[in-house]
């Protein structure tokens, strides 16, 4: 059994909202595959995994998040 994620989405600093999170499902996902919207923390470890669909959101290499 593989531990590879179902999908990996690279995000940039401008994709990150509020306190270092991104929303899943994202706007590029097919309507039929939607689930309740959740916010995935990518600021703490550079990536986070959706508990519903398994999509991993990873901060693109070299991207820097600025705190306000």
**Residue 19's pLDDT is what?**
87
Domain membership flag for residue 43: yes
Q: Is residue 67 part of a domain?
A: no
Q: Is residue 47 part of a domain?
A: yes
Domain total of the chain: 1
Q: Give residue-wise pLDDT tens across range 34-62.
A: 899 999 999 999 999 999 999 999 999 88
Name the pairing type of β-strands 47-49 and 56-59.
antiparallel
**Which pLDDT band, with edges at 50, 70 and 90, does 1 fall under?**
very low
Q: Let me know: does 42 contact 59? Beta carbons within 8 Å.
A: yes
> Residue 23 belongs to what domain range?
8-59
pLDDT band at residue 3 under the 50/70/90 scheme:
low
Q: Tell me if the pTM is above 0.85.
A: no
């Amino acid at each position: 059994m593989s531990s590879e994620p179902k999908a990996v989405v690279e995000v940039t600093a401008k994709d990150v909202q509020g306190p270092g999170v991104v929303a899943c499902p994202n706007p590029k996902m097919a309507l039929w595959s939607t689930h309740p919207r959740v916010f995935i923390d990518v600021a703490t470890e550079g990536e986070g995994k959706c508990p519903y669909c398994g999509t991993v959101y990873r901060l693109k290499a070299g991207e820097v998040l600025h705190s306000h």
